[in-house]
Amino acid sequence: MEYFVRHRTAYRYLQDVSSSCHLAHLLPRSTPRQSVTESKLIFSPEPQRNEAGTDYFGNQKNLFTIEESHTVLEVISESRVTVQPAPSFAPGHDLAWEKVRSLLEEAGDAQSRAAAEFLFDTPQVVASAELAAYAEESFTPGRGILSAAADLTTRVHRDFRYDTTVTDVYTPVEKVFRIRAGVCQDLAHVAIAAIRAIGLSARYVSGYLLTSPPPGQPRLVGADASHAWFSIWVPECGWIDFDPTNNMQAGESHITAAWGRDYADVAPIAGVITGGGDHIVEVGVDVVPVSELEA
């Protein structure tokens, strides 16, 4: 399916900002199941420098600086993306998870060596004995890795309350695990930490999810949101995405923006400012099938 994606972020500062420097991961990347036909960023005010490129993980990035006084910064990304359905896998692809762990330990080929980069702790996502025990309830001896990952996805969805008031982008996974609540990025972090705690590779995926309005209601402009989920590495299959917030394998409705070790690697916008004081952030996201735009 082809989508039009629009992501608007506005920072409103209480005092003048004399200069700022930002790193954005707002333009979707191409993947084996996703092609990007067009994408652009719109800035207000216009940056004095805007360097586009790819980061270590192959994500699209923009490093931009604004060197004039401003009290509002608005960044809009607009993209057209085509996403293919997620593949179904034959039982033979569902290797016992212990076998996958052994392949990662051996790192005998380029694929497993690349996947092994996602075995390790990050400042926000730290494995622990408690998280390993939590994972082992799904990753039982001899169980297929895909079956176990799907079960872990279901359990995180069931055990953790979706709550936008209890965490922020800096909340470490140990707190999320303790309070059993958070938003999509927190649930993804829990699953990633649990998987890494038993010696498997998992990565963080940021992106968007197509949502549908209630029957008979119009689609509201700006009502969608950015989203996050996790991927687990499976030999011969590559990286397979699961969405614990919605208890599903990520599929045709999931649009990938970027991936990394955790949220901090792929924050939509990060940076530093001179001045500004307190600020308010406004975010609006629209994900619309192109067929609806052309109807």
Q: What is the CATH number of the domain that holds 186?
A: 3.10.620.30
Distance of alpha carbon 57 from alpha carbon 59, whole angstroms? 6
* Domains of the chain: total: 2
| pLDDT confidence of residue 183 | 96
Comparison of pLDDT for 172 and 294, the residue scoring more: 172
| pLDDT confidence of residue 107 | 86
| pLDDT confidence of residue 224 | 76
| Domain membership of residue 219 as a residue range | 93-262
Q: How high is the mean pLDDT of the chain?
A: 94
**Are 21 and 163 part of one and the same domain?**
no
Comparison of pLDDT for 154 and 86, the residue scoring more: 154
Residue 141 lies inside a defined structural domain of this protein: yes
Residue 29 lies inside a defined structural domain of this protein: yes
Residue 88 lies inside a defined structural domain of this protein: no
Distance of alpha carbon 185 from alpha carbon 78, whole angstroms? 22
Comparison of pLDDT for 149 and 92, the residue scoring more: 149
User: Between β-strands 181-182 and 161-162, what pairing exists: parallel, antiparallel or unpaired?
Assistant: parallel
User: For the segment 7-48, what is each residue's pLDDT rounded down to a tens digit?
Assistant: 999 999 999 999 999 999 999 999 999 999 999 999 999 999
User: For the segment 169-225, what is each residue's pLDDT rounded down to a tens digit?
Assistant: 999 999 999 999 999 999 999 999 999 999 999 999 999 999 877 776 665 554 578
Q: What are the CB-based long-range contacts (under 8 Å, 24+) for 172-175?
A: 172/123, 172/124, 172/125, 172/126, 173/124, 173/125, 173/126, 173/131, 174/126, 174/128
**Are 193 and 275 part of one and the same domain?**
no
**Are 139 and 176 part of one and the same domain?**
yes
Residue 133 lies inside a defined structural domain of this protein: yes
**Are 202 and 244 part of one and the same domain?**
yes
User: For the segment 255-278, what is each residue's pLDDT rounded down to a tens digit?
Assistant: 999 999 999 999 999 999 999 889
Comparison of pLDDT for 86 and 63, the residue scoring more: 63
| pLDDT confidence of residue 281 | 94
- The residue written with tokens 């799907």 in the block is 150
**Are 100 and 219 part of one and the same domain?**
yes
**Are 153 and 44 part of one and the same domain?**
no
Q: Is the pLDDT of residue 293 over 90?
A: no
| pLDDT confidence of residue 160 | 98
> Cβ neighbours of residue 288 under 8 Å, at least 6 residues apart?
3, 4, 5, 219
